[in-house]
């Protein structure tokens, strides 16, 4: 209980290296939000139930509230702030969310978008039913689900066609 001890941690976030000193019990979510000011990743439940804190670690979607910051050391972390291109051009999933109105209050949205990017990359956006299933870990109380499905479907098609064009 008397954990005064802080440990140095180096985190690679959105291509940038961050050094911080935190207690070992600090979660990746709190490290991002409270220690690094990266508040785009949201805290909806802090117990792994809502998906609002979804980020990518080494390309895989994980819940930042169930990950200690120390566990992410030496791995590539991507949060919503790092999804658009450096020049501000939106990722296909972000653009589709805007166009399809796939959010209202916007609080679950960063987690939905990070999940959607991974869902498409995993090959789980083949049908509306598949999208619904593989996006079911991200709760949305405003009830944007049908528009989220439409946005993921649209982005998946765009990503597939741009990959084809490129190859």
Q: Which residues bind to another protein, rule: CB under 8 A?
A: 1-4, 23, 25-26, 30, 33-34, 37-47, 49-50, 52, 79-81, 83-84, 87-90, 92, 94-99, 101, 103-110, 113, 128, 131-133, 135-149, 158
* Contact status, residue 54 vs residue 119, Cβ threshold 8 Å: no
- Shortest Å, Cβ 79 to another protein: 7
* Contact status, residue 116 vs residue 32, Cβ threshold 8 Å: no
Our CB check for another protein shows the closer of 57 and 139 to be 139
- CA dist 58 and 2 (Å) reads 33
Q: What are phi and psi of 3, to 5 degrees?
A: -85, 80
* Contact status, residue 140 vs residue 146, Cβ threshold 8 Å: no
* Contact status, residue 95 vs residue 162, Cβ threshold 8 Å: no
- Shortest Å, Cβ 23 to another protein: 5
- Shortest Å, Cβ 149 to another protein: 7
Our CB check for another protein shows the closer of 73 and 158 to be 158
Among 59, 55, 133, residue whose Cα is nearest residue 152: 133
Our CB check for another protein shows the closer of 73 and 130 to be 130
- Shortest Å, Cβ 60 to another protein: 19
């Amino acid at each position: 209980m008397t954990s005064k001890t802080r440990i140095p941690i180096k985190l690679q976030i959105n291509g940038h290296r961050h050094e911080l000193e935190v207690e070992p019990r600090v979660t990746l979510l709190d490290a991002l939000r409270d220690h690094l000011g990266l508040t785009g990743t949201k805290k909806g439940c802090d117990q792994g139930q809502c998906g609002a804190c979804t980020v990518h670690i080494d390309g895989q979607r994980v819940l930042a509230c169930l990950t200690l910051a120390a566990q992410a050391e030496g791995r590539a972390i991507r949060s919503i702030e790092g999804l658009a291109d450096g020049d501000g051009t939106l990722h296909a999933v972000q653009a589709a969310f805007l166009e399809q109105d796939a959010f209202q209050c916007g609080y679950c949205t960063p987690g939905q978008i990070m999940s959607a990017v991974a869902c498409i990359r995993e090959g789980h956006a083949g049908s509306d039913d598949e999208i619904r299933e593989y996006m079911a870990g991200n709760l949305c109380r405003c009830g944007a689900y049908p528009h989220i499905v439409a946005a993921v479907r649209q982005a998946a098609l765009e990503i597939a066609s741009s990959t084809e064009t490129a190859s």
